Amino acid sequence: MASQGFSVYVGNAPYQTSEDEIGSFFSNVGHVTNVRIVCDRETGRPRGFAFVEFADEAGAQRAVNELNGADFNGRQLRVNLASR
């Protein structure tokens, strides 16, 4: 089961991080097609996590295997397969 797409959940990221920074960081393990930082719709504040979309599933899983727990801007990055 688990028909998860090529989206990867990125958590524990610094609030001052931009999509370009994340895209460049995840582009090292695969081809990033889109990067989306999740913000609260009601308050407009960043929730502290983002989503990275890959062109291939291999890149997504590679990101989880390589960038999960990696040090990003002084914070340990959390990478996992997205549920959506």
For the CB of residue 62, give the shortest distance to DNA in the complex, in Å.
Answer: 16
What residues numbered 51-80 form the site for DNA, per CB under 7 A?
Answer: 51, 53, 75, 78, 80
- The answer to whether 29 and 59 are in contact (CB under 8 A) is yes
Shortest approach of DNA to residue 77 CB, angstroms?
10
Look up residue 76 and give its two tokens: 């340990």
The answer to the question of residue 11 lying near DNA (CB under 7 A) is yes
CB 17 within 8 A of CB 78: no
Looking only at the bridges linking them, the beta strands covering 7-11 and 46-54 are: antiparallel
Furthest-apart CA atoms within the chain: distance in Å:
36
Best CA proximity match to 58, nearest among 81, 35, 41, 39: 81
The answer to the question of residue 49 lying near DNA (CB under 7 A) is yes
Least separation in angstroms between CB 28 and DNA? 19
Residues making contact with DNA (CB under 7 A): 5, 7, 9, 11-16, 34, 36, 38-39, 41, 45-49, 51, 53, 75, 78, 80-84
